[in-house]
Amino acid sequence: MFVWMFHRISGAALIFLLAFQLLTGFFQASTSNSTLVKTMADLHRHALANCLMVFLVVFHALYGVRTILLDLGVGREKLLFWVCTVLGSVLFLVFLVLFFALVRA
């Protein structure tokens, strides 16, 4: 039940976050010096929003693959849950290390 709810909620959150990133990305190319443009450009590079988006993408994708495998008849539901959760955690931790080492340095 957790995976089903997380998959639905993360899908809705991803729609919002991706639209937010797209909207704020338009302000990156502006040559205006207005406060709104600077604020939106800063929000586009916001570390927490970027990390949250990657977290949601990784787990939404892996839990989606898990759901597809269950629909195809692979019957090991608990094993698939733990494999997807551990793999997602490792991928997200690798992203965090790379993000803070390379991007935020």
Q: What is the CATH number of the domain that holds 72?
A: 1.20.1300
The pLDDT value recorded for residue 34 is 80
Cα separation of 26 and 23, whole Å? Answer: 6
* pLDDT higher than threshold 70 for residue 13: yes
Owning domain of residue 82: 2-103
**Interval 46-96: pLDDT, tens:** 888 889 999 999 999 999 999 999 999 988 899 999 999 999 999 999 999
Residue 25 has pLDDT above 70, yes or no: yes
Give the chain's domain count.
Answer: 1
Q: Across all residues in the chain, what is the average pLDDT?
A: 89
What pTM, to 2 d.p., does this model score? 0.84
